[in-house]
Amino acid sequence: MLSSKPVNQKAWWLVLPVVICVAFSAVLPLMTVVNYSLQDIFSPERRVFVGTEWFALVMRDDELHAALWRQLGFSLAVLTVEIPLGIMLALAMPAKGWKASAVLVMVALSLLIPWNVVGTIWQIYGRADIGLLGAMLQKMGFDYSYTGNATHAWLTVLSMDVWHWTPLVALLCFAGLRSIPAAYYQAARIDGASKFAIFRYIQLPKMRGVLMIAVLLRFMDSFMIYTEPFVLTGGGPGNSTTFLSQYLTQKAVGQFDLGPAAAFSLIYFLIILLLCFILYNWMQRVGTTDKEGAGHE
């Protein structure tokens, strides 16, 4: 908003507690992972330094590429559905009164269920013989089977994620909307603005901050998704819903190979980091008012 912030190195004191907490939890373990990724571990005593061999191995893996593409497709689909839906939901939710509280609680419920339970419930929910969704779809004439049909499996996993996580986007946007002073709406009424103009010129810009958080969070979390699809489809049918996290776990747990697993973890992390970095900077540029921008649009 304002052009520049005052420089104040003493601000580091305010940030120090956070740095300590996170560094303690993150830096030390990460160093261990890097350590493992560069060694071949036969047993706790026998380790051989192998340099970047694991990294090369991991990068050449075809199945990895397939899982990566599936993952990218999934994350893209998730963002495309959840962000607009979340915004629309936030706009539709009442702002005041008992209705606001009731709707808020009802919307947030899906976020509170442990992820393995989410998968488990949808497992039954989606079965044509004993589940509500499955039965409904069957009655409507679809030959629905998330265990047999890859497309159905994809759609089910997607629907489950949308059901589970859209409220996150909605809650963030809802809080953002509540921060807009009434005077803006009053001025817009006086200016004769249409409802769409109010959305485009007042609500959307003011939600920019929270939307960025929502997009990045959903991207990250969908990219790392493990429990829910694993419980629901187990990665199948075949490996049509095997996303990156599951692939990693299969490799690490199935083969007890810490070296490649650690290497893959790092690569995984770096991919997310890269994509988030790109997304973050792109959103900053699109949204922010920068000093150089003044004068030319």
Partner 1 sequence: MNENRFQKRTLFLILYIVFALLPIYWMVNMSFKTNAEILSSFSFFPRHFTWDNYRTIFTDPAWYSGYLNSLIIVAINMTISISVALPAAYAFSRYSFIGDKHLFFWLLTNRMTPPAVFLLPFFQLYSTLGLMDTHIAVALAHLVFNVPLAVWILEGFMSGIPREIDETAYIDGYSFPRFFLTIFLPLIKAGVGVTAFFCFMFSWVELLLARTLTSVDAKPIVATMTRTVSASGMDWATLAAAGVLTIVPGAIVIWFVRHYIAKGFAMGRV
Partner 2 sequence: MARIDLDLAHSYQANPQQDEDYALLPMKMSFADGGAYALLGPSGCGKTTMLNIMSGLLAPSRGSVEFDGRNVTQLSPQQRNIAQVFQFPVIYDTMTVADNLAFPLRNRKMPGDQIRKRVAEIAEMLELSGQLDQRAANLAADAKQKISLGRGLVRHDVSAVLFDEPLTVIDPHLKWQLRRKLKQIHLELKLTLIYVTHDQVEALTFADQVMVMTRGRSVQVGSAEELFERPQHTFVGNFIGSPGMNFLPARVHERALLVAEHRLGLSRDLALPEGELKLGIRPEYVALSAADDPTALPVKVTQALDIGTHVLLTGQCGDLAIKARLRPDQEIPRCGDRVWLGVLGSHTCFYKNEELLPC
Interface of this chain with partner 2, residues 183 to 212, rule: CB under 8 A: 183-184, 186-187, 189-194, 197, 201-202, 205-206
Residue 254 binds what, of partner 2, partner 1, none (CB under 5 to 8 Å, by partner type)? Answer: none
Q: Residue 2 interacts with partner 1 (CB under 8 A)? A: yes
Binding status of residue 95 toward partner 2 by CB under 8 A: no
E-strand ranges in 32-160 read: 39-41, 47-49
φ, ψ for residue 235 (rounded to 5)? 100, -5
> Smallest gap, in angstroms, from Cβ of residue 286 to partner 2?
11
Spell out, one character per residue from 142 to 181, where the chain touches partner 2: x when CB under 8 A holds, - when not: ---------------------------------------x
The residue written with tokens 């497709």 in the block is 73
Which one, 28 or 294, has the nearer CB to partner 2?
Answer: 294
Q: C-alpha distances in angstroms, 192 versus 177, 186, 189, 198, 204?
A: 21, 10, 5, 10, 18
Q: Provide the CA 221 distance to its chain's centre, in angstroms.
A: 3
Residue 19 binding target from partner 2, partner 1, none, CB below 5 to 8 Å by type: partner 1
Q: Which does 48 bind (CB under 5 to 8 A by kind): partner 1, partner 2, none?
A: none
108 interface partner picked from partner 1, partner 2, none, CB below 5 to 8 A per type: partner 1
Q: What is the 3-state secondary structure (H, E, C) of 55-83?
A: HHHHHHCHHHHHHHHHHHHHHHHHHHHHH
47 - beta bridge partners?
41
Least distance to partner 1 from the beta carbon of 261, Å? Answer: 9
Q: Binding to partner 1 (CB under 8 A): which residues in 92-131?
A: 92-93, 95-96, 100-101, 103-117, 120-122, 124-125, 129-131
Q: Which of 284, 78, 102 is nearest to 169 (CA)?
A: 78
- Out of partner 1, partner 2, none, which partner does residue 278 contact, by CB within 5 to 8 A per kind? none
Indicate the helix (H) or strand (E) that contains 105: helix 97-108
